[in-house]
């Protein structure tokens, strides 16, 4: 991880769950880590869990990831105050309690598309601009899901647009691989597809009890692994299942 020390990493939605674990792991490995999130208090609690030395490398910019203008402003602030971006982890995601056929649910549907998909597109565009302008062979991560490869048949869960947005992330990963290549860069892109993971993303939606699950630290550990691969190795799509996963 020496090549990444003192480099800038941006993580979206790092005030809890997988994002929080990723931010702590990156900062522990001596990356300057900036969280883009609206939940500043949540991130303060995350920082309180690490040593003061690690906490000094953990920063947060309030940013509504549903608003392109705020994303662009945040990346400009990061470059001005911390330097060019080397690592981007598009982690932010939501699952809203609705069904596709529910009447008058436009706001719920937009929230999922804008958070799960468009925020990743806007953030990746801004990070890529910074990486290319500064000659950085960076790494972009897209937090996917098993639901981005297979739609689970679980009528008791209101997945609505969650699986479609994650399927889009699967396609987006290949699109970025091609565009990064055609832009004559060596920037890597990796899709991370966890199985059942103990987070709060389903807090608004009732889900069946499950025994097999991953922890957020398991996912953060895989990101550190990917960052350590040689320059010529790109882990394109990484699927992680807990032992006993039924999906």
Confidence of residue 204 (pLDDT cuts 50, 70, 90): low
**What does the pLDDT read at residue 153?**
75
Q: What is the mean pLDDT of residues 208-232?
A: 88
Lowest mean pLDDT among 71-75, 129-133, 238-242: 238-242
Task: Return the closest-CA partner of residue 113 out of 150, 167, 33.
Answer: 167
**Is residue 203's pLDDT more than 70?**
no
The CATH number linked to 83 is: 3.40.50.720
pLDDT at 209: 60
Neighbours of 129 (CB within 10 A): 15
Mean pLDDT of 150-178: 90
Smallest Cα–Cα separation from 35: which of 86, 119, 91?
A: 91
Q: How many domains does the chain have?
A: 1
What's the rounded mean pLDDT across residues 187-200? 87
Q: Is 162 a catalytic residue?
A: yes
Predicted TM-score (pTM) of the model is: 0.94
In a domain, 246, yes or no: no
Residue 11 lies in a domain: yes
Give dist(CA 112, CA 119) in Å, integer.
Answer: 10
Catalytic residue among 162, 176, 182, 225: 162
Please report whether residue 106 resides in a domain. yes
Does residue 245 form part of some domain?
A: no
**What was the pLDDT predicted at 208?**
57
**Structure token digits, residue 194:** 């966890």
| Domain that residue 54 falls in | 2-240
Band of residue 195 on the pLDDT scale cut at 50, 70, 90? confident
- Residue 191 located in a structural domain: yes
Average pLDDT on 61-84 reads 98
């Amino acid at each position: 991880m020496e090549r990444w020390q003192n480099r800038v990493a941006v993580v979206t939605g790092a005030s809890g769950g997988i994002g929080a674990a990723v931010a702590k792991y990156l900062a522990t490995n001596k990356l300057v880590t900036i969280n883009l999130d609206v939940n500043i208090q949540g991130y303060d609690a995350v920082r309180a869990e690490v040593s003061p030395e690690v906490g000094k490398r953990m920063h947060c910019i309030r940013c509504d990831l549903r608003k392109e203008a705020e994303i662009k402003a945040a990346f400009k602030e990061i470059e001005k105050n911390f330097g060019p971006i080397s690592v981007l982890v598009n982690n932010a995601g939501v699952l809203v309690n609705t069904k596709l056929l529910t009447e008058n649910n436009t706001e719920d549907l937009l929230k999922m598309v804008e958070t799960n998909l468009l925020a990743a597109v806007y953030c990746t565009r801004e990070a890529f601009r910074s990486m290319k302008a500064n000659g950085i062979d960076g790494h972009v991560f897209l937090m996917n899901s098993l639901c981005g490869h297979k739609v689970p048949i679980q009528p008791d869960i209101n997945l609505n647009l969650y699986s479609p947005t994650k399927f889009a992330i699967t396609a987006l990963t290949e699109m970025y691989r091609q565009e990064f290549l055609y832009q004559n860069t060596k920037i890597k892109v990796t899709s991370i597809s966890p199985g059942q993971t103990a987070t709060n993303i389903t807090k608004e939606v009732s889900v069946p009890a499950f025994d097999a699950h991953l922890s957020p630290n398991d996912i953060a550990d895989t990101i550190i692994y990917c960052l350590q691969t040689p320059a010529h190795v790109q882990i394109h799509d990484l699927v992680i299942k807990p032992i006993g996963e039924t999906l």
